[in-house]
Amino acid sequence: MSSDRFDHLQIQTLDRVSRILASFVKNKTFGMSVRKLIEAEHRSVLADLSPLTGPGSPCFGNPVLCKPLEKAVGTLTALTQAVSRLDESQIHWGVNGHSIRDILDEFHDTLRHARQLVIEKDLLDRQSRVLSRIILSSEKVARWKEFIRGILRELQEMFPFEVFSIAFTEDQSLTLYLYYRSTPQRDSQERFREYFLEYFRDRFGLSRETSVEVEEFFLSEEPDGFPGFDLKTLMVTVPDYAADLSGILGIAYGVTRELTPQEQSVIQSILSVMVMVIGSSKVISRTLSELEYYSTHDPLTGLHNRRYFNEMIGYEIQRSERHGHKFCLLMIDLDNFKDVNDSYGHLDGDRVLNQLGKIVTGTVRKGDIVCRFGGDEFVVLLSETSLSGGCTLAETVREAIQTWSFGTTDRGSFHVTVSVGIVAYPQDGNQIEDLLAGLDLVLYRAKERGRNTVASSRDLRTDIRSVRLFRLHTEEFRQALGEERIVPYFHGIYAAGSGRLLGYESLARLLNTDGTVVQAQDFLDLARKYGLLTTLDRFMLEKSLRTVAHHPDFSVFENGIPVLFVNLSSQEIENHGFLDLARELCDRFGVAPSRLVFEIVESDAIQDLKSMKVFLQELRSKGFSFALDDFGSGYNSFHYLRELHFEYVKIDGAFVRNIVHSPIDRALVGNLIRLCREIGTKTIAEYVEGPEIHAILREMSVDFVQGYHFGLPGPLSGY
């Protein structure tokens, strides 16, 4: 029921009561007239009868005359009773009049309460309509300022406010949003703006020098007059959704009348809901912006990330193909970054990465794209650059990093170096996969050459595009393992004097689907990059043991099994469960643990001397033997011989292959052989590629030899 219907009901009821009261007044007036007439007649009759009723009157004692008198007295008595009843009726009419008045008062109170209930229900209905609009969605969050404008239009119909304000402080700056119900005059708008800025500066405790940004919106384009500053405000604080974000929203209205408690309650509840919506939307909007930024940027250095790089290199390939341009890719990798973290801590390690990004960005051209690929790897896209130009810039970057001094808080300063790999489009590949595979390969070559150097496709022994395995991704590599296209090739190890076969070194080879064979050196780095070295180790161990255990030609060997040398990655030193697996496999295939020798290159074996001692102790407790590969390549090799005991050492082939023509290498190899013989360690010379090398090694009394002079690695059936 609306307020108008309540007014109609009140008027209609008063009209009906007025008619009843008018009738009551008429009846009362008539009764009073009748009573006055009776009283007059009464007095007249009494006046006429009084001379006849007293003693001495003619009728006194005469019965004939007494009858009329008695009749007159009866009439007088009846009239007296009638007058009495009229008086009683007047008394009742008075009582009823008071009752009617009381009823009218009660009716008025009931009507007033009912009207208030209807007003409150109307307020609640309008509140519900406003709140029903406040339904968040991703689109509304992204455009929350426009979303608020729509809600305020609904609120304006319910409550005629003048200005709606939203204020946020973030990073010591103030952002103010003002929503006007209509378009004010310029001077009014400026006064409002200054009023709210001053208000919120005071609320947030900000100085007048604080950075301020104001956005203003108009719910209606029609101009309208605003009441000066005789305003009242309702303010609500935004919940603390984020540590560095504070906010207040409020509503200002002209003081034309006082708000009822019900109106204040409803407006306050709407503001409470809106403050949650606005606060959440602001935080979500900011979070979405941050997510959008960090989807293409590295959070530590602020450089673009790998995702952005993949998008840009695809675009660059299309652009270069269309216009016939060349471009280069540089991959920059910190040398021995683990040592920086271990020596100075991860905080300084992060500072190094951050500074490295700044050095690279400051060295390349403005239009070049620098990305952090992850870890300590950075990639640079040099548009419209030839391979020679890329090499020149790479040297500039390498020198700039080498000469930079990284200061620390309490440990002085230090320097770092980088290795850089370079490939060029289109000569090194015209697909993203080819170029990235080439980058991995040339960077590995730069590391192999001693670090702190630059390598390009010109430094490789083969064309980058011929190294097909580097185009494989993780799942493809796993597929090759699952299909057993990674197989062991066996390379013989012989006694140097008698030529008797000691055993074989198991070498991993990958068989492509087209029948071509890929050597281990061309895919081990890929396996290392994708964390598949331990998977490869275990696969090769099981397949190698199965092969030699079921081969029919080994009856001449002890227990019918040759000595089997199996390569391990450095990760297995920490993984003691591997040796349990090896013992289990030996039991399964009937191979004595004494016939199995685990082989690790010197650079991996000596990374952690303490862990290496533990590993060797457990290895020998299970009956296995150990061979140190590439012995002599480390600058502290003699120290490891003193600290650790090895059953075999394989002398680095870089020394062996030159002993015919290099007296220095010949002297080094001879001394290594004598040293190992004196401490009881067997020696194996690698890279024996001709009879002259073999003859010199026999004279030096090396124990065993291995190399192409005795045969190439191949499937076991070839022996």
Judge contact between 595 and 565, C-beta under 8 A: no
- Cα separations (Å) of 598 from 500, 559, 582, 593, 639? 21, 19, 10, 11, 21
Asked if the model's pLDDT at residue 91 lies above 60, the reply is no
Between 295 and 492, whose confidence is greater? 492
CA atoms of 235 and 265, how far apart (whole Å): 13
Judge contact between 231 and 252, C-beta under 8 A: yes
**What is the DSSP track for 604-649?**
HHTS-HHHHHHHHHHHHHTT-EEEEEEET-STTHHHHHHH---SEE
pLDDT at position 241 is 54
Pairing of strands 173-180, 245-254: unpaired
Angle at 481 between CA 475 and CA 486, to 5 degrees: 130
User: Is residue 719 very low, low, confident or very high in pLDDT (cuts 50, 70, 90)?
Assistant: very low
Mean pLDDT of 590-603: 87
| Sequence-distant (≥ 6) Cβ neighbours of residue 715 within 8 angstroms | 487, 489, 490
CB-CB neighbours of 354 under 10 Å? 15
Most confidently modeled of 69-78, 635-644, 657-666?
Answer: 657-666
> What mean pLDDT, rounded, does the chain reach?
77
Asked if the model's pLDDT at residue 506 lies above 90, the reply is yes
How do residues 303-356 score in pLDDT, each as one tens digit?
999 889 988 998 999 999 999 999 999 999 998 888 787 777 888 888 899 999
Amino acid in the structure at residue 633: S
Pairing of strands 625-631, 596-601: parallel
Pairing of strands 501-511, 563-567: parallel
Length of the chain: 719
pLDDT at position 496 is 94
Q: Judging by beta carbons within 10 Å of its beta carbon (0-12, 13-18, 19+), is residue 425 exposed, middle or buried?
A: buried
CA atoms of 496 and 699, how far apart (whole Å): 10
- Kindly state the DSSP code that residue 557 receives in the 8-state scheme: S
Among 64-73, 195-204, 376-385, whose mean pLDDT is lowest? 64-73
Angle at 125 between CA 120 and CA 127, to 5 degrees: 90
Asked if the model's pLDDT at residue 119 lies above 50, the reply is no
3-state secondary structure of 377: strand
pLDDT at position 66 is 60
CA atoms of 245 and 307, how far apart (whole Å): 30
CA atoms of 150 and 165, how far apart (whole Å): 15
How do residues 438-497 score in pLDDT, each as one tens digit?
888 888 788 877 788 899 878 765 555 555 444 545 566 777 778 888 899 999 999 999
Tokens 């090694």 belong to residue: 697
Mean pLDDT of 67-81: 63
Between 622 and 88, whose confidence is greater? 622
Judge contact between 581 and 537, C-beta under 8 A: no
Among 59-73, 338-352, 451-465, 563-577, whose mean pLDDT is lowest? 59-73
Mean pLDDT of 667-688: 92
User: Is residue 139 very low, low, confident or very high in pLDDT (cuts 50, 70, 90)?
Assistant: low
pLDDT at position 197 is 87
Mean pLDDT of 145-154: 75
Percent of the chain with pLDDT over 90: 24
Q: Where are the alpha helices (DSSP H) in 530-608?
A: 533-549, 571-574, 577-589, 602-605
| Sequence-distant (≥ 6) Cβ neighbours of residue 244 within 8 angstroms | 170, 171
Pairing of strands 163-170, 173-180: antiparallel
How do residues 408-436 score in pLDDT, each as one tens digit?
556 667 888 999 999 999 988 888 888 88
Asked if the model's pLDDT at residue 670 lies above 90, the reply is yes
Asked if the model's pLDDT at residue 137 lies above 60, the reply is no
Asked if the model's pLDDT at residue 287 lies above 50, the reply is yes
pLDDT at position 491 is 93
Judge contact between 683 and 673, C-beta under 8 A: yes
Structure tokens, 164: 């709606």
- Cα separations (Å) of 373 from 106, 301, 364, 434? 83, 11, 17, 17
How do residues 600-621 score in pLDDT, each as one tens digit?
887 666 666 777 888 888 889 9
Asked if the model's pLDDT at residue 43 lies above 50, the reply is yes
User: Is residue 718 very low, low, confident or very high in pLDDT (cuts 50, 70, 90)?
Assistant: very low
Smallest CA-to-CA distance from 382 within 437, 459, 371, 374 is with: 371
- Kindly state the DSSP code that residue 258 receives in the 8-state scheme: P
Amino acid in the structure at residue 263: E
CB-CB neighbours of 154 under 10 Å? 17
Mean pLDDT of 689-712: 93
Asked if the model's pLDDT at residue 229 lies above 70, the reply is no
CA atoms of 164 and 148, how far apart (whole Å): 10
Judge contact between 107 and 132, C-beta under 8 A: no
| Sequence-distant (≥ 6) Cβ neighbours of residue 54 within 8 angstroms | 60
599: Cα within 13 Å, side-chain hemisphere: 22
Between 222 and 15, whose confidence is greater? 222
Angle at 342 between CA 332 and CA 578, to 5 degrees: 90
CA atoms of 582 and 600, how far apart (whole Å): 15
134: Cα within 13 Å, side-chain hemisphere: 22
191: Cα within 13 Å, side-chain hemisphere: 11
- Cα separations (Å) of 597 from 11, 13, 524, 537, 605? 112, 113, 20, 14, 15
User: Is residue 134 very low, low, confident or very high in pLDDT (cuts 50, 70, 90)?
Assistant: low
Percent of the chain with pLDDT over 70: 64
- Kindly state the DSSP code that residue 210 receives in the 8-state scheme: S
How do residues 510-543 score in pLDDT, each as one tens digit?
888 777 887 887 677 667 766 778 888 999 999 9
Judge contact between 600 and 570, C-beta under 8 A: yes
Structure tokens, 385: 């650059």
3-state secondary structure of 215: strand
